Structure 1
Amino acid sequence: MSEAIQVFRGNYVESTHHIHVAVVDYTGKLLYSYGDPKRLTFARSAMKPFQAVPIVETGTAASFGYSASEIALSCASHSGETIHREAVLDILERANLEEDDLLCGTHVPRDKDSYIELIKAGGELTPVFSNCSGKHSSMLATAVHLHEDIHTYPQISHPVQQRVLNVIAEVCSIPEEQIGLSVDGCGLPVHQIPLCNTALGFARLAHPGGTVSVSRAEALEMIRDAMMEHPEMVAGKKRFDTDIMRAFNGNIVTKVGAEGVQCMGIVDRGIGIAIKIEDGSDRASGVAAMEVLRQLGIGDESTDELLKDYIHAPVLNARNVKIGVVKANFVLDPAVI
């Protein structure tokens, strides 16, 4: 069995996952790949750090007194924990907005304790529980700050989304007219670009100096540092993004995306990594990411120990007993020079 990710039940391979990987430096040079590094991909929520750039560039974050943790929350696919919900509500209050102004919809939060607490209290799910409520609240705050319509902010024609499109085009080095557009799960525009361009975006998030304008580089640095300083706001307890940013302590900025996307920027090397699991499974993305880091020589015994459950992800049965493992089985291809 030669697929890149193998799922074992006991000693037997039960399932496999095909993957695509692009490793790019901040100049746009492809360094390594696996599968198709040019695969057109909706990076989904992995684009959130770039969607947050206008919040800084327009002066919204400064005007409403954003803390670093709130900037991190603007990039989040959060678990709906108390810290996330309270921060979103605080942003809305400072912008003189209501929770009903959020157009992200709602869903059962990843944090089951919060959901159980809500049910016991007889409450109902509201938009603040959405994993995208941090992004939506900050886009709304930007519209308020610039005196723009708050009821149509998800539309691609809205200035909020046009600013986002401009950022993605420049940072990921792709013309706006070549960006495929559709609708994300939370109702906002979602952007389809080649995987290697997404990797370039993360390389520049890790090392923005000299790649974009000074003001945009400063915004990217602020967002990058906020995410690494407050990883619990980007994701939540027992989440890959939180755990890896903590383990690498200021050297990796990372963001998950739906349908099996995982992206990382390596600060000291100025490189970006973008991974897409072909079948959209998120159980393979963390394992693939850890294997890419290993092959690039990033990490050591201490980080391996902290992240061991992502290197060989356990397969658990209904009694929470380990009965298998998810393992990587691929070798990156060096780019042909």
Structure 2
Amino acid sequence: MANPVDLVEVWRGELLECVHQGHAVICDDTGEIVNAWGDPAAQIFPRSSCKMIQALPLLESGAGAHLTQEQLALSCASHQGAAIHTDRVGAWLRDLGLTDADFRCGPQVPGDQDARHALIRAQAEPCQIHNNCSGKHAGFLTLNKHLGGGADYEKIDHPVQQMGKAAFEETTGETSPAFGIDGCSAPNHACTVHGLARAMAFFASAHDRSDLRSTAALKLRTAMMAYPELVAGETRACTDLMRAMNGRAAIKTGADGVFVAIVPEKRIGVALKIRDGATRASECVIAAILVSLGVLDPNHPAAIARMTPTLKNWRGITVGRVQPAAALRV
């Protein structure tokens, strides 16, 4: 990556202890850059931040025409594996006539404490339904059943993934130079930070158009904003910040320091990548950008907790702070 810039500062006392660098782009509905930090052409893996793009074929194909808003939100989710997530994904599987064994995402210990403790008490092992991507994979299975495809729907040459790649390249406006295998075993296609922001701007302006893809994008972004608790979970940045914005934006995190935002009222998309992959930094930057756009109140507790949190030691003593770097401060 070329030319990352300072985006987040971590202070301990009066000494600047740590700096997180990265790239960020705000893009309008014409695909043009409104503002940028670092290198807009930096190549990244979007990781889970692009799940709404991966869900487009589910609706475009007609396979998901019967799905509820809750199911559409889960198809875009990186959830905590709480009961509100697994109960819904389980019901979705049963409606498909499938079981946990049909997933290809792998088992994962749930991030939700209650769900994790329930497994321990039951002396049970986590299943694939607990995987944070099980909602996305339920969407893949729905599309695969509609297509009549083979069981290994996660393979790069499978029709499900080929449709996902096409949607990714068409919405980012780029030919992906490479792909990697994500934590859930599905392919993740590389793009530039600008390309990812361009795709989010497509979602942000979807209400201006009536074509099939735009209609699908509108349904997915609406579902995300209607059910923020299904997109992530309690205490998570995606959920807390979307609630704080009260339907003014849809946001989605990705592993290793990626975050995106869809801002319909301004018809703009945001994408960012923290070079060292730090989540605290990506959350700080997305909150700062949303504040600068006027869709997030800087005094809301959820904004403060991500953008300007104080650092406390184990005795509860304030020892430092995290804050946006000068380039981001408004």
TM-score (norm 2): 0.93
Q: Give the CA deviation at 1:270.
A: 0.5
Q: Give the CA deviation at 1:274.
A: 0.5
Q: Give the CA deviation at 1:306.
A: 4.2
Mapping for residues 191-210 of structure 1, pairs under 5 Å: 191-209=189-207
Counterparts in 2 of 1:98 and 1:316: CA distance versus 1, 3 Å: farther
Mapping for residues 1-337 of structure 1, pairs under 5 Å: 3-62=6-65, 65-149=66-150, 151-175=151-175, 178-209=176-207, 214-300=211-297, 304-318=300-314, 322-331=318-327
Q: Give the CA deviation at 1:48.
A: 0.1
Q: Give the CA deviation at 1:315.
A: 2.8
Paired residue total = 325
DSSP 3-state at the match of 1:135? helix
**Aligned partners of 2:282 and 2:254: how far apart in 1?**
10
Q: 1:282-307: per-residue Cα shift (whole Å, max 9, x none)?
A: 111111112222333443466x3442
Q: Give the CA deviation at 1:251.
A: 1.4
**Aligned partners of 2:11 and 2:155: how far apart in 1?**
44
Whether contact under 8 Å (1:48, 1:135) holds in the other structure is yes
Whether contact under 8 Å (1:244, 1:252) holds in the other structure is no
**Aligned partners of 2:259 and 2:316: how far apart in 1?**
26
**Aligned partners of 1:128 and 1:323: how far apart in 2?**
40
Q: Give the CA deviation at 1:130.
A: 0.7
**Aligned partners of 2:67 and 2:111: how far apart in 1?**
25
Q: Give the CA deviation at 1:319.
A: 5.1
Whether contact under 8 Å (2:280, 2:306) holds in the other structure is no
Whether contact under 8 Å (1:32, 1:332) holds in the other structure is no
- How well do the aligned residues superpose, as a CA RMSD in angstroms? 1.9
Out of 250-259 and 314-323, give the one that drifted further: 314-323
**Aligned partners of 1:319 and 1:84: how far apart in 2?**
35
Runs ≥4 residues deviating over 6 A: none
DSSP 3-state at the match of 1:276? strand
**Aligned partners of 1:109 and 1:32: how far apart in 2?**
37
DSSP 3-state at the match of 1:280? coil
**Aligned partners of 2:137 and 2:47: how far apart in 1?**
14
Give the share of equivalent positions with the same residue, in percent.
35
Q: Give the CA deviation at 1:238.
A: 1.0
DSSP 3-state at the match of 1:268? helix
**Aligned partners of 1:96 and 1:198: how far apart in 2?**
35
TM-score (norm 1): 0.91
Whether contact under 8 Å (2:297, 2:303) holds in the other structure is no
